[in-house]
């Protein structure tokens, strides 16, 4: 017996909530202000360094190249702060959704996932996860998806978890 379909299902409600765009939060506005400040500092430093270096060296081409190198050199110095600020923002968003983030770099890994389908049945009772099949974006069975998952699970640099072991066991079972 079908009780609900489409947007009236739990998944439909979640999809419609996720599709709505939210106004920027104070944190997002702060990130934008900090990024604009960094860009402003770079734009102020560039002509300042150019003029000072040009007046001191009397070689305006060398002064220009030095100013550009200073501007380019500032960008990587600011990058870790920008990345960590964005990861902290992601942690705050996930906390509002009642998700605890232990390590900020986990947010980056989570953000790189396109689709993750998992069923935790058996994980708590048997401490095992089993991969049943790999499907492509159209929902068709796909050995290529399983091969890519196998390569990722086999050659990743982090610790292997139950999902990695399930992918490896599934792929090795196909080969036998």
Catalytic annotation, residues: 119
Residues 6+ apart with CB under 8 A from 174: 143, 146
Residue 135 dihedral angles phi and psi, to the nearest 5°: -125, 150
At 15, list the tokens.
Answer: 């999809």
Q: Are 145 and 135 in contact (CB under 8 A)?
A: yes
At 124, list the tokens.
Answer: 């708590």
Q: Are 168 and 153 in contact (CB under 8 A)?
A: yes
């Amino acid at each position: 017996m079908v009780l609900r379909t489409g947007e009236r299902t739990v998944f439909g409600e979640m999809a419609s909530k996720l599709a709505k765009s939210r106004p920027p939060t104070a944190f997002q506005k702060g990130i934008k202000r900090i990024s604009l400040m960094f860009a402003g500092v770079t734009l102020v430093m560039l002509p300042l360094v150019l003029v000072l270096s040009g007046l001191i060296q009397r070689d305006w081409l060398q002064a220009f190249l030095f100013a550009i190198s200073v501007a380019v050199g500032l960008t990587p110095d600011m990058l870790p702060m920008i990345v960590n600020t964005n990861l902290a923002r992601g942690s705050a968003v996930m906390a509002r959704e009642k998700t605890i983030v232990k390590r900020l770099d986990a947010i980056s890994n989570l953000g790189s996932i396109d689709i993750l389908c998992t069923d935790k049945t058996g994980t708590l009772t048997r401490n095992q996860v089993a991969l049943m099949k790999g499907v492509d974006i159209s929902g068709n069975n796909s050995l290529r998806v399983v091969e890519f998952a196998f390569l990722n699970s086999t050659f990743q640099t982090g610790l292997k978890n139950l999902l990695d072991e399930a992918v490896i066991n599934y792929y090795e079972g196909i080969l036998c």
